[in-house]
């Protein structure tokens, strides 16, 4: 009985310990971003977007995902980055915010990274204002800087209006 109790106290897998957090990584305009894996509902590589008349510039339109209407957000426009060229490939990360599904249209989806919380830093003052407004902080990786996006702030359009003004 003692051996069972002792082994139950050990973590089942190192990726699920309290000292790490898992992120789905993606790139937009050659910048690496990440969002917590638990916020991701789906990853799409091929989809048809229907335009929505009079929508804000960052709203590309909507798509149908297994019978649910999903609002497609152009992440380049949302973050104030250079528009992508016509015909450039995109991928989509589906996330939920306040009961609604949103498709975050990005340049490419990478891998899931488990990162130590000890290497996490709050937003540095040199990070652009638009990134700081929707970011929780950064991870300094070997060859890159990963900006951790806060999905709730990213999709909170009331917050967006306050930041813009």
Domain assignments of the chain as residue spans, ordered by start? 21-164
Helices (H) and strands (E) in the chain, counts: 5, 11
Residue 3, pLDDT above cutoff 70 = no
Average pLDDT over residues 6-17: 44
The reported pTM is 0.80
β-pair type (68-74, 20-28) = unpaired
120: exposed, middle or buried (Cβ count in 10 Å: 0-12, 13-18, 19+): middle
- Give me the pLDDT at residue 34, please: 97
Comparing CA positions, the residue from 92, 96, 94, 95 lying closest to residue 106 is 92
Q: What is the overall mean pLDDT for the chain?
A: 84
Q: Measure the CA–CA gap between 122 and 33, rounded to whole angstroms.
A: 14
Q: pLDDT tens digits for 61-119?
A: 999 999 999 999 999 999 999 988 877 789 999 999 998 999 999 999 999 999 998 88
- Give me the pLDDT at residue 161, please: 47
- Give me the pLDDT at residue 22, please: 95
Average pLDDT over residues 123-140: 90
CATH class, range 21-164: mainly beta
Query: Residue 1 gets which letter from DSSP?
Result: -
Instruction: Provide the 10 A C-beta neighbour count for residue 140.
Output: 11
Per-residue confidence band for 163, with pLDDT thresholds at 50, 70 and 90 = very low
β-pair type (145-149, 20-28) = unpaired
Average pLDDT over residues 122-140: 90
Contacts with 132 (C-beta within 8 Å, 6 or more apart), sequence order: 123
């Amino acid at each position: 009985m003692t051996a069972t109790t002792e082994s139950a106290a050990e973590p089942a897998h190192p990726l699920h310990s309290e000292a790490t957090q898992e992120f789905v990584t993606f790139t937009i305009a050659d910048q690496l971003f990440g969002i917590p894996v638990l916020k991701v509902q789906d990853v799409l590589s091929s989809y048809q977007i229907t335009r929505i008349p009079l929508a804000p510039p960052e709203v590309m339109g909507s798509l149908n995902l297994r019978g649910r209407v999903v609002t497609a957000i152009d992440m380049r426009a949302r973050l104030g980055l250079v528009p992508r060229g016509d015909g450039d490939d995109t991928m989509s990360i589906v996330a939920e915010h306040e009961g609604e599904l949103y498709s975050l249209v990005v340049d490419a989806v990478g891998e899931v990274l488990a990162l130590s919380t000890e290497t996490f830093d709050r937003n540095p003052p040199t990070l652009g204002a638009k990134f700081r407004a929707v970011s929780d902080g950064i991870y300094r990786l070997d060859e890159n800087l990963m900006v951790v996006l806060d999905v709730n702030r990213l999709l909170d359009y009331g917050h967006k209006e306050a930041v813009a003004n």
